[in-house]
Structure 1
Amino acid sequence: MLRLDRRTFLATGAAALAAAGAGSRALAQAPIKLRFGHPHPEVDSWHRAGLRFAELVKEKTGGSVIVEVYANGALGNDQTMIAGTRGGTLDLCLTGNPFFTGLAPQLNVLDLPYLFHDRAHVARVLDGPIGNELRAQLEPSGLKALATWEVGWRNVTNNRRAVTVPADMKGLKIRTTPNPAHIEAFKLLGAVPTPMAFTELFTALEMGSIDGQENPVTLILNAKFYEVQKNLSLTKHAFTTAPLVMNKAKFDGLTEAQRGAILAAAAEAATIQRQMNVDAEGTSLAALKEHGMKVVETVDIPAFRAIVADKVKADFIAKFGPTLPEQIAAAAS
């Protein structure tokens, strides 16, 4: 029989304990991986800023949290990703504010037509108490809104005719978001609003099942809508924001330091993403012209505003009261 002396036994036991401890520490130190999905193309500011967000999270958490970014609706369309993030099958998602208004109806205030004067006005609202209040309204739905990014100024494209005055909109079947403010505005203009996920839009335009759509010039270029649309009118009828949200239970399960790092990274990336859009607007418009789009730059915006702004705002006030629209108006200067 093999006999172990006491020193050999103790040394062997210590080595085994040390190995077990090292294994436990390795498991404890394994980074937390978060999947982040969005519907825009890889060339768009959402993806480029999303990659920067991932870098910032890694830096600020010392590598303890890793974010993997998926573009082009690879993890689902707008509503699917929101549902997945609420349910925990997806960790983070980014999409336009209109897709969240079914969960937090007062978010609809941000989509009222001709609400914002300029981007400085937008930033004061999103990054101040109003933005904080609106983001918090998503928490009962299981979402932690980390920051608010942007889609930008929305403009109309279509394949039937140039749009210069409101009467040109009559009868056009236009893809909109499912947001009540967007739908009502296009009804008032005599168009036929057709809510649809962004990931389905190019095909619908290509097949001719709708006449047109409305999005910022940067996204019109990045999504190659110029391949299936002839006319672009710079209506700038609304400014669309985009909450970056995380599964709230997943967020709450992180350490305090990790939560703070992710919030800081999301806010920093929001500033980066918005500036990307500012920088790209002029060159995007020029590129769309080069691709053959006929651009109407002298749209009768006062006429559009007169039809939609007060009426859609009045509908919101009837449901939720005047406080939020008044606070946003006061933030204009």
Structure 2
Amino acid sequence: MTITRRLLIGALATPALLGRANAQAIRLRFAHPHPDSDSWNRASRIFAQMVNDRSQGTLNVQVFGNGVLGSDPTTIAAARGGSLDIVLTGNPYFTGLAPKLNVLDLPFLFKDRRHVTAVLDGPIGQELRGDLDGSNLHVLGFWDIGFRNLTNSRRAISAPADLRGLKIRTTPNPAHIKAFQLLGANPVPMPFTELFTALETRTVDGQENPTTLILNARFYEVQRHVSITRHAYTAGILAVGKQRWDSLTPAQRDILQSVANEVTPQQRAMNEDAEASSLAELKAKGMEAVEHPDREAFARVVTEEVRRDFASRYGTALPDAIDAAGA
């Protein structure tokens, strides 16, 4: 066989070999609702690159942010049903599947982010993760949304009485809804993907989210007032659909979990680092800030009653354990 013929056969064989290698790659679609500038998008792309690299291309993670694959409930349902591989969205949207997760959204529960980390990365977090196993989801970790603050287009909020009559978008979480009812507001649950339009059209007067997300979602364009109430903390849940998880090899599962373990603290740090500067930027963009509202007054109205409501359904063990973790 001549050298030319050998080279020609090699050239013809190479695409076939590459085709077989590419056929072995597993595409993992990863959806989240936050904007491109948010830490969720930046961290999810780091996650994707690390998984792709460590699997040597056999796992190909593709990130779809900004809600392009659907709302929070839609993407959770898709992951559970097997038409989506990885979902990241707020803890409140999972509480219908695992009601005890609602404990994480109780108002004024966490002292600070150290307290959050002790709970989410410790035995309590592990127990709560396990509660979703029966819902066709495998939890890889808890990411950070942060401490929630109020915005609205009507007036400054310094005390509970200022909220009376305002239509405030909340998550569908029972703790969030109950808290705003107690404060005299009209809570309106809706997916995050619908929120900007609802604020722009005055379907709702306001909403509550961390300053980082208020900035990244450009809510300053349709909201005038922000109050640093820090009335609740919200975690994000990073989960793989159980159907996809079970289809992977043990080595591939180890890659996903180990990368999640590494990226999770990076994502949380991104949010923590950006918290102070995001408030300054919101003010620079024209928002009027109440930086020191009467948080104790808000806490007096909501804390005991919302906890009592949770305890009537699920007991006091979980909130008591969370309190102890922050002692």
- TM-score, with length taken from structure 2: 0.93
Aligned to 2:29: 35
Shift of 1:26: 2.5
Q: How does 1:73-152 map to 2 (within 5 A)?
A: 73-152=67-146
Aligned to 1:7: none
Secondary structure of the residue aligned to 2:60 is strand
Match of 2:262, as an amino acid?
E
Aligned to 1:160: 154
Question: Which consecutive residues of structure 2, in runs of 5 or more, have no partner in the other structure?
Answer: 1-8
Fraction of identical pairs, as percent: 56
State the alpha-carbon separation in 1 of the partners of residues 205 and 22 from structure 2.
Answer: 55
Aligned to 2:5: none
Q: Is 1:291 paired with 2:288?
A: no
Post-superposition Cα deviations, 1:226-247, rounded to whole Å, max 9, x if no partner, equal: 0000000000000000110111
Match of 2:225, as an amino acid?
N
User: Of 39, 44, 47, which aligns to 2:38?
Assistant: 44
Aligned to 1:8: none
State the alpha-carbon separation in 1 of the partners of residues 311 and 50 from structure 2.
Answer: 39
User: Of 277, 293, 317, which aligns to 2:311?
Assistant: 317
Secondary structure of the residue aligned to 1:295 is strand
State the alpha-carbon separation in 1 of the partners of residues 237 and 259 from structure 2.
Answer: 14
Aligned to 1:269: 263
Question: Which consecutive residues of structure 1, in runs of 5 or more, have no partner in the other structure?
Answer: 1-14
Shift of 1:282: 1.2
State the alpha-carbon separation in 2 of the partners of residues 179 and 327 from structure 1.
Answer: 21
Q: Is 1:207 paired with 2:198?
A: no
State the alpha-carbon separation in 2 of the partners of residues 247 and 236 from structure 1.
Answer: 32
State the alpha-carbon separation in 1 of the partners of residues 19 and 125 from structure 2.
Answer: 40
User: Of 228, 238, 241, which aligns to 1:244?
Assistant: 238
Q: Bigger radius of gyration, 1 or 2?
A: 1
Secondary structure of the residue aligned to 2:248 is coil
Q: Is 1:307 paired with 2:312?
A: no
State the alpha-carbon separation in 2 of the partners of residues 26 and 211 from structure 1.
Answer: 55
Q: How many residues align?
A: 314
User: Of 316, 326, 330, which aligns to 2:320?
Assistant: 326
State the alpha-carbon separation in 2 of the partners of residues 326 and 159 from structure 1.
Answer: 37
Q: Is the 8 A contact 1:45 1:277 kept in 2?
A: yes
Post-superposition Cα deviations, 1:74-120, rounded to whole Å, max 9, x if no partner, equal: 10000000000000111111100000000000000000000000000
Q: How does 1:215-234 map to 2 (within 5 A)?
A: 215-234=209-228
State the alpha-carbon separation in 1 of the partners of residues 281 and 147 from structure 2.
Answer: 17
Aligned to 1:3: none
Q: Is the 8 A contact 1:112 1:238 kept in 2?
A: yes
State the alpha-carbon separation in 1 of the partners of residues 160 and 77 from structure 2.
Answer: 36
State the alpha-carbon separation in 2 of the partners of residues 33 and 185 from structure 1.
Answer: 41
Q: How does 1:1-12 map to 2 (within 5 A)?
A: none
- TM-score, with length taken from structure 1: 0.92
Shift of 1:24: 11
Match of 2:175, as an amino acid?
A
Match of 1:292, as an amino acid?
G
Aligned to 2:248: 254
Q: Is the 8 A contact 1:29 1:64 kept in 2?
A: no
CA RMSD of aligned residues (A): 1.5
